[in-house]
Chain A
Amino acid sequence: MNNQSIQFIVTGRRQRRRRWILVTGILAILAVGLCCAMLLLGNTIYPVKDVIRALTGEQLKGVSFAVNTIRLPRMLAGLFAGFAFGVAGYTFQTMLRNPLANPNVLGITSGSSAAAVFCIIILHTSGAVVSVASVIAGLATVIVIYLLSRGTSFSIGRLILVGIGMQAMLDALISYLLLVSAEQDVPAAIRWLSGSLNGSQMHQLPPLVITVLVLAPVVILLGRHLDILELGEQSASSLGVATDKTRIVFILGSVFMIAMATATTGPIAFVSFLSGPIAKRLAGVGFSNVIPAGLVGVNLVLAADLIGQFAFEYRFPVGIITGLLGAPYLIFLLIQMNRKGEL
């Protein structure tokens, strides 16, 4: 009997692992496919051989410029920003045990955006200054929201309300900045605000790439602790997780990634919100879904960018497409949560 139930558990675990590996593998292959598509597709479709030769450094007339200067940075920006948004969003949702508690709703994205818009429009700076400012603003927003919503006992509802209040203020600030800016700056700022891979340049990418390469492994390695945190404060500490320290590591890591990605591509709407729930639905529960969530983020951003580039007469920035896809899902999720009485 005892043996049988152990057998049962082991089989279940094996099945879940098989499903996780399968889903993660498929997502990874899909992401690679989309990356290739980003390099191959464009105004002119060059032969695969030429694209490869251009990538390896050969100078080919036309091809080298299109691939190395335009398509490669665009693809890399989408790849790393998508991964950052996906991982950070999943971390927040799991840690706070509520799919609605993501950087969008909590106003972190608005904080980073406001700082970045300020830098672009008022200070006319770009590059490193924008990144640093948006990281600081994002962290500051998190700290303020956390301190304000701490109260006597921690409540997600209060956290979300405080976040919405902060967001209202920051959005008012952004609207005001847009208003005082010169007319020729406005389209650029609005396009940036909606999240866009257009005009990504190689020299802007290193901060984002380094942040993701350093922080994503940390979050992935600590992924098991994240799942334990989801069980609740008490269970987690009795299972040996230093809850406060772990939480701080996760919050810092996620906010850094979100802010860097936001500074590079603008706030690509809803990616951080959608990735977690989609990954969970695909890969099931039982294993840490940090990697699948990141991969879903990559796939969402790259696919949405391809749709935005080629599906319509006008080239829409990627954030518009993810916004149009994500918003109905948000409302659907809300309806579902209300029906189940989870709110």
Chain B
Amino acid sequence: MNSSNSLIPRNFTKVLIICLVLLGICVLASLVLGSRLVRIPELIDGLFHPDVDSYGASVVRKRISRTVFSLFCGAALGVSGALMQAVTRNPLADPSILGVNTGASLFVVCGIAFLNISTANQYIWLALAGAAITAVFVFGIGSMGRGGATPIKLILAGAATSAALSSLVTAIMIPRSYVMDQFRFWQVGSVGSATWSGIATFIPFLVIGVLTAILTAPALNALALGDEVAAGQGVRTGTLRLVAALAGVLLCGATTALAGPIGFIGLLSTHVIRLILGPDLRFVIPMSAISGAIILTISDVCGRLIGSPGELEVGVVTAFIGAPILILLAIKSKVRSL
């Protein structure tokens, strides 16, 4: 493992700096832009003078929690996408495509309908359980038969499972109009309802997930060369897969619980970074976190601007950015590799 430290991608520092600058711009845009445009003095008041009580300042304060939350969610989804793609050795893996989000949805709906739960702390465990069970199920079906888990098999398994679970969701929801009303807001992923207590709930999951991802990155690199090679280098492939997949599910499940299903971030951020930096996961994973945060925050700002005076939920925006990319990837990839 020592020798691998030398192989830092040539343009890594440049990319890192550009990404951090972009991230800063995103944060600023997210604080300033929206249905009400905030002026600079108001921004400074809102950030640094807690005693000033102007309207603009309170708008900024409201947007701080939202911005922090969207950064965290984006980072979590980016890392989760990178992990899932590494574990399944499949460039199209993403929590939303694999149906994991629908699994989380089903459990949350059951919670709302049968257990009368309504707070984020309770959602999160149900969503995690749903996400984990669905991930195992989809991966199990997708990897049956000859050739293991090929992209097309996994994606079909995900789509089929999604379809199955969403008819269950509708069946539970239809007789209960109160669930329907609560659920339709949750069903479209949104960072608009962020609260500090929600963020506090989220942080432990984010930290554990990202740390696990960074620690397993070297071993995942070996896995990319094939199971035999990885085993030859002393990697326990089974344990590694399990740990990395759990971390991925943890990250996307927690995000889904708090923000609702937001699709395609993992797919987008990881692909962009891999295109620039190459496949080394020690760099792809942290950079996916940053690019995921950028993409989600930008999408949220776009949604606010497009939907003004209301807002377009970020889940809708990411679907419209991400689905064309999926289509593009499908067109570009060679027929055989599907």
Contact = CB atoms under 8 A, between A and B. Distances in A.
Contacts of A175: 184, 187-188, 315-316
B146 A179 contact: no
A341 B323 contact: no
A269 B335 contact: no
Contact of B180 (A100, A187, A331, A340): A187
A187 B177 contact: yes
A238 to B, nearest CB: 24
Interface in B272-302: none
Contacts of A160: 152, 156
Interface in A92-122: 100, 104-105
A337 B147 CA distance: 13
Contact of B313 (A153, A179, A270, A341): A179
Interface in A133-192: 148-149, 151, 153, 155, 157-158, 160-162, 164-166, 168-169, 171-173, 175-176, 178-180, 183, 186-187, 190-191
Nearest to A180: B310
Interface in B177-195: 177, 180-181, 184-185, 187-188
Interface stretch (B48-56, B107-115, B201-209, B325-333): B325-333
Nearest to B171: A320
B150 A165 contact: no
Interface stretch (A27-35, A67-75, A247-255, A322-330): A322-330
Nearest to A330: B160
A335 interface: yes
Interface string A308-343: 000000101101100110111011001101111101
A194 interface: yes
B323 A166 contact: yes
Nearest to A343: B153
Which range contains the number of A residues in contact with the other chain? Answer: 35 or more
Contacts of B185: 179
Nearest to B168: A324
B40 interface: no
Interface string B51-69: 0000000000000000000
Contacts of A337: 145
Contact of B174 (A270, A317, A335, A341): A317
Contacts of A316: 171, 174-175
B170 A339 contact: no
A334 B141 contact: yes
Contact of A161 (B141, B152, B161, B315): B152
A322 B5 CA distance: 56
Interface string B84-102: 0000000010001100000
B338 interface: yes
8 closest cross-chain pairs (CB), A and B: A323-B167, A327-B164, A172-B319, A161-B330, A157-B338, A338-B145, A165-B327, A314-B175
Interface of A: 100, 104-105, 148-149, 151, 153, 155, 157-158, 160-162, 164-166, 168-169, 171-173, 175-176, 178-180, 183, 186-187, 190-191, 193-194, 269-270, 314, 316-317, 319-320, 323-324, 326-328, 330-331, 334-335, 337-341, 343
Given A165-B330, A331-B141, A341-B146, 5 more contacts: A161-B152, A161-B155, A172-B320, A335-B141, A339-B145
5 contacts: A176-B313, A190-B180, A314-B174, A331-B161, A338-B141
